[in-house]
Amino acid sequence: MKANITHVALYARDMEKSREYYTKYFGGISNEKYQNTKGFSSYFITFDSGARLEIMNHLEQEEQLVKDKVTGLSHLAFTVGSKGAVMQLTEQITNAGFKMYSPPRMTGDGYFESCVADPDGNRIEISE
């Protein structure tokens, strides 16, 4: 059997803000909003690689603080092609008011990367 990850899904406080973030900064293409009669709605954001991110919301959704170094999803990672692009995108995102978790740097495992927050505080890794 060959298995592939089809998408990753995140609940968002404000789906429109999250949709704008991932399309504006990472070039994703959004589908039309899906909404059912039970209080659930979502967008699928598709990226050039074919990877997809589902941004979801539910009327009964509970708030949860994003924490570091705990069991569960740690971060989403995007490659942007060069060190310069990492620095430029990191600056663009943080200048728009999003938190920087770690500035652009060479990591011990050989990646040039930064880590910023999305609208809900999820960690977004940007690498070359």
Q: Are 128 and 111 in contact (CB under 8 A)?
A: yes
- Report the pLDDT value the prediction gives residue 70, as an integer from 0 to 100: 80
Q: Are 5 and 49 in contact (CB under 8 A)?
A: no
This prediction has a pTM of: 0.94
pLDDT digits (tens, 9 = 90+) for 77-90: 999 999 999 999 99
Query: DSSP letters along 81-98, please?
Result: SSHHHHHHHHHHHHHTTP
User: What is the average pLDDT score of the chain?
Assistant: 95
- Mean pLDDT throughout 48-73? 89
Report which residue type is found at 4: N
Quick one: pLDDT band at residue 65, thresholds 50, 70, 90?
Answer: confident
- Report the pLDDT value the prediction gives residue 66, as an integer from 0 to 100: 82
Q: List 124's β-bridge partners, or say none.
A: 76, 116
Residue 75 reports pLDDT greater than 90: yes
Q: Where would I find the H helices in 27-121?
A: 83-95
**Structural domains of the chain, with CATH:** 1-59 (3.10.180.10), 74-128 (3.10.180.10)
The tokens describing 69, both together, are 């170094």
Quick one: pLDDT band at residue 72, thresholds 50, 70, 90?
Answer: confident
d(CA 119, CA 18): 6
